[in-house]
Structure 1
Amino acid sequence: MRIISGKYKGRRIFPPKGLPVRPTTDMSKEALFNVLNNHFSFEGLKILDLFAGTGNISFEFASRGCTPITSVDADFGCVKFIKQIASEYDFNIAATKSDVFQFLERNKATYDIIFADPPYGLDQKTFEKVVLTVFEKKALQEDGMMIIEHSKYTKLDHLPHFSFQKSYGGSFFSFFEFEKSDEESDEDSEEE
């Protein structure tokens, strides 16, 4: 696992064996952050990483200057590892051991970017519920973006706020945003 860009570019991180995870590949992660780079300036963005696993995505955001970052995972070993790396690298990451849906129910904060990487083995309805709950609980800033990583067998493009999808290898990323008002769309086309 490698940090691709930012302050700790090129740094390798070695999670302990036996964590119940499937980390996003470096190739997929690089492609994902290239997309995000076109939408955001990372410095100071508030991030929520759901089903955080090894913290792979959280560390990438932290290396690029995002702060604060909240990483949520139900596995004690994953949360412990994220806390350890955050401490070593002085990353502003709060790792929380929680079921994602319970966390979203309690959460009062809003975030610029919400990334979710549920286990691919979860059913379609669970993936849909992650997206729907984020919007229902108003966890995303109005100009923010939610990204959910999934396999080709999961279809999310029918959900409200779906914006676009990218695929890299066996991973798919579905992006969700609030619809821009006509006024904002006009400004965007004037800038082009």
Structure 2
Amino acid sequence: MRIVGGEWRGRRLAGPKGEGIRPTSDRLREALFNVLAHAYDDAVEGAVVLDLFAGTGALAFEALSRGAASALLVDDGREAGGLIRDTIAALACGDRARLIRRDATRLGPTADTPATLVFCDPPYGKGLAPAALTAAAKGGWLAGGALVLVEEVASAGPVLPDRVSELERRAYGETVVTIGRFEG
């Protein structure tokens, strides 16, 4: 696993040892960031990123590499926390990236700047994306008009909660990425 574009292009990311973390592949990340750059007026440049169910943090670190201003990475897993902390240290980006060890479906209120770009890549097939995005909206984690990307298995039901309008869906093999806009 590596960062595929931007300032840290080619830098390797620490991968999980077990089956509990399913990182977004390099190929899918490259496709998603091309969509963000060309179809959404480069939504990454200067963005405040919220990475829910961050796992390895690959999506957030890719965004930072490509010009995002900052990233909050949310995951309550022990292995994920270790991988994210190691990558923050390796990339020396502690001033722009922060790990929040918390259940993404129970965020509570935030004192941080609301996110303008949200990645939500929960364990597939468990219906966690709507719960996490609802918690983020209630807690003030999302800026009005924030762009939201949800990665889920193609057979999953609706992945966007109320107040997030669907803009498009893109299929990548057995994965579907739903892109929406938060109507804060």
Q: Please give the secondary structure, in 2, of the residue aligned with 1:79.
A: helix
**How far, CA to CA, are the matches of 2:47 and 2:129 in structure 1?**
25
Which residue of 2 is the match for residue 31 of structure 1? Answer: 31
**How far, CA to CA, are the matches of 1:158 and 1:36 in structure 2?**
18
Q: Residues 122-175 of structure 1: CA distance to partner in whole angstroms, max 9, x if unpaired? A: 1x3x33222333334443222320111100111227754122111112211111
What aligned pairs does 1:153-192 form with structure 2 within 5 A after superposition?
153-156=155-158, 159-160=161-162, 161-178=165-182
**How far, CA to CA, are the matches of 1:8 and 1:17 in structure 2?**
23
Partner AA of 1:172 in structure 2 = V
* Structure index of larger Rg: 1
Residue 67 (structure 1) aligned with residue 69 (structure 2): yes
Which residue of 1 is the match for residue 102 of structure 2? Answer: 98
Distance 1:49 1:166, change over 3 A: same
Which residue of 2 is the match for residue 107 of structure 1? Answer: 110
Which residue of 2 is the match for residue 117 of structure 1? Answer: 121
**Going by fraction, where is helix more abundant, 1 or 2?**
1
Partner AA of 1:20 in structure 2 = G
**How far, CA to CA, are the matches of 1:77 and 1:131 in structure 2?**
23
| Structure 2 stretches lacking a partner, 5+ long | none
Which residue of 2 is the match for residue 127 of structure 1? Answer: 129
**How far, CA to CA, are the matches of 1:143 and 1:74 in structure 2?**
27
The TM-score, its normalising length taken from structure 2, stands at 0.85
Q: Please give the secondary structure, in 1, of the residue aligned with 2:9.
A: coil
Asked if 2 retains the 8 angstrom alpha-carbon contact of 1:48 and 1:70, the reply is yes
Instruction: Return the offset for 1:101.
Output: 2.1
Q: Please give the secondary structure, in 1, of the residue aligned with 2:79.
A: helix
Asked if 1 retains the 8 angstrom alpha-carbon contact of 2:109 and 2:141, the reply is no
Number of equivalent positions: 176
**How far, CA to CA, are the matches of 2:177 and 2:157 in structure 1?**
11
| Structure 1 stretches lacking a partner, 5+ long | 180-192
Distance 1:65 1:152, change over 3 A: same
Runs ≥4 residues deviating over 4 A: none
The TM-score, its normalising length taken from structure 1, stands at 0.82
Instruction: Return the offset for 1:19.
Output: 6.2
Partner AA of 1:118 in structure 2 = P
